[in-house]
């Protein structure tokens, strides 16, 4: 099973469209998209990243790679926020096996791996029995076993 982002939208606006409001600069934009009909059932959040374009390259408001996850600032300076997450959105649909899934019944879970840096029988780490059907560990290509 391959997981990937079901929707990616990229919108650019000229700086001339910005409006000054006191000490703030505001930019208003619209993104009109339709979710795919085959959206996998799950619990989703929208992530909105914003930044600037300079010399045909896109940057976050901190001058870092656009849409990246910046390292924590330890200098005491306040870091500019370059992204926003929506509340969770539940999506019902058809699972890869053909089973209909009601999003209200989906239990949010985060799979955990322990001993991830410890090799045993060619595999790294251990997961819980409850995660076996939805989460798998892999054998690194460089491991000759």
Would you report the helix, strand and coil content of the chain in percent, each value rounded to 5? 5, 30, 65
68, 79 contact by CB (below 8 A): no
The ranges assigned to domains in the chain are 109-145
pLDDT (mean) for 14-29: 87
Distances (CA, A) of 25 to 19, 46, 102: 6, 23, 42
- 43-47, 95-99, 103-107, 136-140, range with the lowest pLDDT: 136-140
Using 50, 70 and 90 to split pLDDT, how confident is the model at 104?
A: very high
Residue 145 banded pLDDT, cuts 50, 70, 90: very low
- Distance, in Å, from the CA atom of 21 to the CA atom of 26, rounded to the nearest integer, reads 7
Q: What is the pLDDT of residue 105?
A: 94
pTM above 0.85, yes or no: no
């Amino acid at each position: 099973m391959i997981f990937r982002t079901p929707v990616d939208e990229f919108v650019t606006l000229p700086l001339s469209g910005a409006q000054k409001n006191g000490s703030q600069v505001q930019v208003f934009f619209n993104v009109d998209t339709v979710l795919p009909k085959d959206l996998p059932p799950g619990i989703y959040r929208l992530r909105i990243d914003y930044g600037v374009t300079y010399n045909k390259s896109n940057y976050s408001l901190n001058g870092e790679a656009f849409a990246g996850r910046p390292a924590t600032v330890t200098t005491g300076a306040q870091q500019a926020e370059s992204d926003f997450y929506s509340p969770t959105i539940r999506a019902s649909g058809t699972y890869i096996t053909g089973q209909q899934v009601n999003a209200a019944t989906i239990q949010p879970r985060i799979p955990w791996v322990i001993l991830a840096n410890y090799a045993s029988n060619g595999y790294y780490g251990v997961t819980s029995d409850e995660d076996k059907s939805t989460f798998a560990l892999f054998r690194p290509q460089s491991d000759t076993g």
